[in-house]
Structure 1
Amino acid sequence: MPSAGVFGLLARDTGGMGKAEKFSPVRSDAVTPDSPEAVGAAGTRAGRRRSVVWRVLAVPVAAAIALGAVGGAASAAPSKGEAESLKSRAQGLVEAGYPAALAAVSDSKGESAGVAVGKGSLETGQAPPMDGEVRVGSNTKTFVAVVVMQMVQEGKVGLDEPIETYLPGLIKGEGIDASRITVRQLLQHTSGLPDFDETLFGTTDVFQYRYHYVTPRDVLDSALSKPAQFEPGTQWKYTNTNYIVLGMLVERVSQRPVGEQIDERIVKKLGLSHTYFPAPGEEKIRGTHPRGYHLNGEGKLEDITEMDPTWGWAAGAMVSTPSELNTFFQAVFDGRLLTQASIDEMKKGVDIGSGGRVYGLGLIGTPLSCGGTAWGHGGDIAGYHTRGGVGPDGTAVTVAVTALPTAIADQSNLENSAKEKAGKIAEAVDISLCHK
């Protein structure tokens, strides 16, 4: 289902990402510590539409456990204790029912230790690859946001300029006035634009449309067939349409594909060799990767690794690895990609009503149990769920599992079960960033 529940941040367990919240700007430094489950929590909307009752899948932890350095010399990587703690948490995720868990923790120097646990393929029992490529869903939004901020730095885009300036006549519909929607509001999900969902394919079953190619305009037109959700700037609601529009903005300003802009401005600059924006119609993951699984109509986990993610596009199509996501998010804050003024703008957050969490410009700030704030994003797409962030000391962690929490949850108690499954990932992120 092409919604926040498929490649974005899921609804209920983000504390309101699936409903409109009153617009309440907060200072980026005003976040206070909160519970660890707030870090990258996922929700339940994606699975709620299925009526099938399904028991949680149990995957033997003994299927595969790997631990090692992925970003540099082992002696320079995060401490053995931190790596072992991460491995223990990853084991717990497999015990909770995820087919496989891959994770990486990277220190402020960029040295990383990684872990791969579980089964990379349920069909063959093959171990998951260390630091394998995964679909990263809405982490794509941060890549797009960085490109937009670079264009702001270059004087090509104005944060508080109406989107109508750059895409004249394109964004229109019932209650929608593009002359009143700013670039900042699109980045921050306060535009009020409607989202696309089953109106795009006529079904919420991802297995029915997994190979369907759609254009960004198809996706946008689907969204604009519905009325505005609220007046621009008055509320907050996580809406993937915002980043479809931002992808179009990047292409209009640069006169080049958004994926190419991400590659030229970010991927090549950081030397990322396993991070990419799929080509139109590209269905397979290019590099070594674990298989991704999703709940089918019979209540069983089915391989959904191959798909055409064009419906996700600038809102959720990218592929990366845990260690390379760490490198990217660290680079967002250490000056390699943006000026300090741009970083400060990205951290100006809107309270999203979820345990002190704020949404900035393509970034989510989450209070850590040990104090301070983790900055990152997270992403879901059928088959893969990733969460992570960068802590106050520059440590970064990314945890990726090969099914959505809703896919492994007890379908007879879906909301609570999925929240519990997602909470284990949130806890793993928090513990790693707090060096527990």
Structure 2
Amino acid sequence: MHAADFRFLVVRRAAAAAVALVAALAGCTGAPDPPDQQSPTPNGASVNATATASAAPAFASGLDKYSRDLRAGGATAVVIQMKSRVGEWSSAEGVRNLETNDPVQLTDQTHVGDITMTMVAVSVMKLVEEGEIQLDDPIQEYLPEFESIIKPPGPVTIRSLLSHRSGMPHYWETPNDIGNRRFTHQERLSFAAAVRWGRGAGSLYNYSNTNYSALALLVEKLRGQDIGTVILADNVKPLGLQGTLMTGSEPGPQNLIHGYTRTEGGELVDNALAPFHSGSPDTGLISTVPELNAYFAALQKGKLVTPQSLAEMHHPKYEQFGLGLVRHYDPCSNNDYYGHVGVVRGYAALALISADGSRQIAMAVARAPKPDLIGFDDPQALEMARTAVEALNQAC
């Protein structure tokens, strides 16, 4: 298995771990406004914005321990912000990069990986709202070239692409060495064309980033703009976000957190702005922890799509992945948390919000510089999801 293959498996396993965290707690009401522009958190400091230091929210100690443990294990940066009715808490620990050792700040930008998919899904839903497409139409109806690039076994609906139920192979499974350069959406699809399609296409969940390469081609054709520009227009500019952009945009961010890995020979590799992510509809986004919280709060409140579109994104109800959103069980309200997880070389990120909008958390980690992990079990990503859900549950 390729070193990056664990990304989608981790999401699935993390969801199962989160669902197991059941507690008999009261329901929550009320929804916070999306956070305003945040002031930087001093290096090494944890800040509770709504309570005195002697009355920190119950969830703060667990998040603080999580951050300290990661730093002790070699993570170069850990940034967290949680907002809830019972209090707010944020922390920025570590350094922005290992060359300058500048202290990391709460508002520093970071790679957020697969969280990019949520914004692509919003752009697709806007096309649905405008009557340009329908979710249960085959993508071939709007994108005939799809057939010649990937050679699907039959019609592939837009809904199945959004929900990872198309059966399309993951482009990482290609027998070719992908390497680290910029790829077009067509190239990513062509990589997957060399791999056999999964059984049960159109019904069985099978996480594959290639789905979003196809969706990017669809959006670009109908909008006449590249996917990064469409994402900005549909998701970023309406909310006035300043630190969220697609990689490949110039000039590059100045306050970017650098995530590192090491080769088997021990050489340190800086993965910041890796060409592979440039313009990618599945891993290409850069954002900040406060802006991730602002974004998912706005999405959950219906500020980006209609209530009907949001309901579609939340379904199917009893599946872990909806349309561009990952679901985690919320025992506080017997409902769900919605958001996404993103793991790419050197980085991990997460954003979750309760269905009623009363609790939300965003996290970003520049992971300990080690060789890429291989296999199903990525303990750091599992622990991130588990820690986030536990904190949200404690804020009921």
For residues 247-303 of structure 1, the C-alpha deviation after alignment (integer angstroms, 9 at most, x for no partner) is: 1111111112111111111101011100011236x6x85131221112322246532
- Residue 347 (str. 1) matches residue 314 (str. 2): yes
Bigger mean CA deviation after superposition, 80-89 or 239-248: 80-89
Bigger mean CA deviation after superposition, 99-108 or 158-167: 99-108
- Residue 185 (str. 1) matches residue 147 (str. 2): no
- Residue 145 (str. 1) matches residue 121 (str. 2): yes
Residues 173 and 167 of structure 1: CA distance in aligned 2, closer, same or farther (over 3 Å): closer
Conserved in 2, the CA contact under 8 Å of 1:274 and 1:287? Answer: no
Bigger mean CA deviation after superposition, 212-221 or 78-87: 78-87
Counterpart of 1:400? 364
1:265 to 234, 258, 263: 234
User: 1:404-415 maps to which residues of 2 (within 5 A)?
Assistant: 407=371
Distance 1:101 1:375 in 2: 22
1:167 to 140, 143, 149: 143
Kindly report the root-mean-square deviation, in angstroms, between the aligned alpha carbons of the 2 structures.
3.4
Aligned-pair CA distance for 1:89? 2.8
Distance 1:121 1:237 in 2: 35
Report sequence identity in percent: 28
2:304 to 326, 331, 337: 337
Aligned-pair CA distance for 1:225? 2.4
Q: What amino acid is aligned across from residue 165 of structure 2 in structure 1?
A: T
**Secondary structure in 2 matching 1:316:** coil
Conserved in 2, the CA contact under 8 Å of 1:97 and 1:408? Answer: no
Counterpart of 1:11? 9
Distance 1:330 1:77 in 2: 25
Counterpart of 2:222? 253
Distance 1:257 1:81 in 2: 43
Aligned residues: 370
User: 1:226-375 maps to which residues of 2 (within 5 A)?
Assistant: 226-279=195-248, 285-299=252-266, 301-310=268-277, 313-349=280-316, 358-368=320-330, 370=332, 371-375=334-338
Residues 433 and 133 of structure 1: CA distance in aligned 2, closer, same or farther (over 3 Å): same
Task: In structure 1, list runs of 5 or more residues that go unmatched.
Answer: 18-31, 37-62, 204-208, 353-357
Distance 1:65 1:234 in 2: 47
- Residue 389 (str. 1) matches residue 319 (str. 2): no
Task: In structure 2, list runs of 5 or more residues that go unmatched.
Answer: 23-41
Distance 1:376 1:3 in 2: 24
**Secondary structure in 1 matching 2:237:** helix
User: 1:99-248 maps to which residues of 2 (within 5 A)?
Assistant: 99-107=76-84, 113-172=89-148, 176-177=152-153, 180-197=155-172, 199=174, 202=177, 209-210=179-180, 212-248=181-217
Conserved in 2, the CA contact under 8 Å of 1:163 and 1:182? Answer: yes
Conserved in 2, the CA contact under 8 Å of 1:192 and 1:237? Answer: yes
Aligned-pair CA distance for 1:185? 0.3
Q: What amino acid is aligned across from residue 364 of structure 2 in structure 1?
A: A
For residues 290-328 of structure 1, the C-alpha deviation after alignment (integer angstroms, 9 at most, x for no partner) is: 211123222465322131134671111010011111111
